[in-house]
């Protein structure tokens, strides 16, 4: 999982990678060039985080070399070690995930380090809000559907649909946000969250390109925002009782109409095991507005 951490005083956006180690979730910051082995810790409101433990580790994160704590202004400082240019630090304010970082010392070009952190409670609330804006989980019957089957599925006589509300109600229900407030897929031309830095947790993170409905089947082809924008397709089976069920979900490349979508899924029919961009250049993603 990747999140963006804003560093004031450095005037850049750096990526924080999360991974679970033991029972605690440790965050990792991209390398930072600094003018001293020091910094300021604040919460998102700018309140100093006092008495936070700050530790210097070996490069493999196995051994603690030195330990200090932030003062009443949230400041910490380690003296530099002669001839050493790189330092590995972990900051651990109470109520926050531990954050690890690699600091590269450059007294001339380095910046002052000022971190504004989100508490564990804030991250949990945001995660819950993000999940509420997601559609309910669709179970797909064929996670590894053969690409020949995919192209055959799309060879039906489809009525093309370009608005979510024009799809059968059973399909609309599949893609409602979990809180039931609206569709989790925006219509073409509507705003959706393209990137990973979510400005509004109620904004859909998917946008419809087009869909198709036939007698016993349907597909929904859409853009999916996130760390990388992707173009995905869901194949659905429609029952005589009016229900819709997932068959397969996968990447479909960029397509403007059903013919190009069919071509995207069929171009690698002779090598179903490797839909790489080298063999299939249409699988590269791009922002479509």
List helix spans (H) across the chain: 120-132, 147-153, 169-174, 258-266
Residue 89 phi, psi dihedral angles, 5° rounding = -115, 150
Closest residue by Cα to residue 21 from 61, 59, 72: 61
Q: Which CATH number fits domain 2-129: 2.60.40.1120, 3.40.50.620, 2.40.100.10, 2.130.10.10?
A: 2.60.40.1120
27 backbone φψ class: left, alpha, beta (φ>0; ψ -120 to 50): beta
User: What is the residue-level pLDDT of the chain in tens, covering all 289 positions?
Assistant: 334 344 434 433 333 444 444 446 899 998 999 999 999 999 989 999 999 999 999 999 999 999 999 999 999 999 999 989 999 999 999 999 999 999 999 998 989 999 999 999 888 877 776 666 678 889 999 888 888 888 899 998 999 999 999 999 999 999 998 878 889 999 999 999 887 665 666 788 899 999 999 999 999 999 998 778 899 999 999 999 989 999 999 998 899 999 999 988 876 544 444 444 444 434 333 333 2
Q: DSSP letters of 214-277?
A: -SSEEEEEEEE-SSS-EEEEEEEEE-TTS-EEEEEEEE----SSHHHHHHHHHTTTT-TT---T
Instruction: Give residue limits of the domains in the chain.
Output: 2-129, 133-283
| Model confidence, pTM | 0.58
Closest residue by Cα to residue 132 from 34, 214, 198: 198
């Amino acid at each position: 999982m990747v999140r963006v951490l804003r560093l004031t005083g450095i005037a850049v956006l750096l990526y924080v990678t999360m991974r679970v180690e033991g029972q605690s979730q440790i965050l990792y910051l991209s390398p930072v060039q600094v003018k001293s082995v020091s910094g300021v810790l604040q919460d998102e409101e700018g309140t100093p985080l006092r008495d936070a433990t700050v530790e210097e580790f070996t490069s493999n994160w196995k051994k603690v070399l030195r330990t200090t704590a932030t003062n009443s202004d949230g400041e910490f400082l380690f003296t530099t070690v002669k001839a050493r240019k790189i330092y590995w630090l972990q900051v651990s304010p109470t109520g926050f995930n531990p954050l690890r970082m690699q600091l590269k010392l450059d007294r001339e070009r380095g910046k002052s380090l000022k971190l504004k952190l989100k508490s564990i409670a804030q991250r949990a609330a945001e995660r819950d809000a993000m999940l509420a804006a997601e559609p309910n989980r669709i179970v797909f019957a064929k996670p590894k559907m053969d690409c020949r089957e995919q192209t055959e599925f799309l060879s039906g006589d489809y009525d093309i649909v370009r608005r979510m509300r024009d799809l059968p109600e059973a399909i609309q229900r599949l893609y409602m946000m979990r809180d039931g407030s609206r569709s989790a897929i925006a219509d073409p031309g509507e705003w959706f969250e393209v990137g990973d830095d979510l400005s509004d947790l109620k904004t859909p993170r998917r946008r419809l390109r087009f869909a198709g409905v036939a007698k016993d089947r349907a597909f929904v082809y859409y853009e999916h925002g996130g760390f990388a924008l992707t173009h995905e397709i869901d194949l659905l089976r429609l029952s005589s009782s009016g229900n819709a069920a997932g068959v397969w979900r996968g990447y479909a490349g960029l397509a403007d109409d059903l013919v190009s979508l069919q071509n995207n899924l069929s171009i690698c029919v002779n090598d179903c095991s490797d839909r790489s961009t080298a063999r299939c250049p249409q699988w590269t993603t791009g922002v479509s507005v």
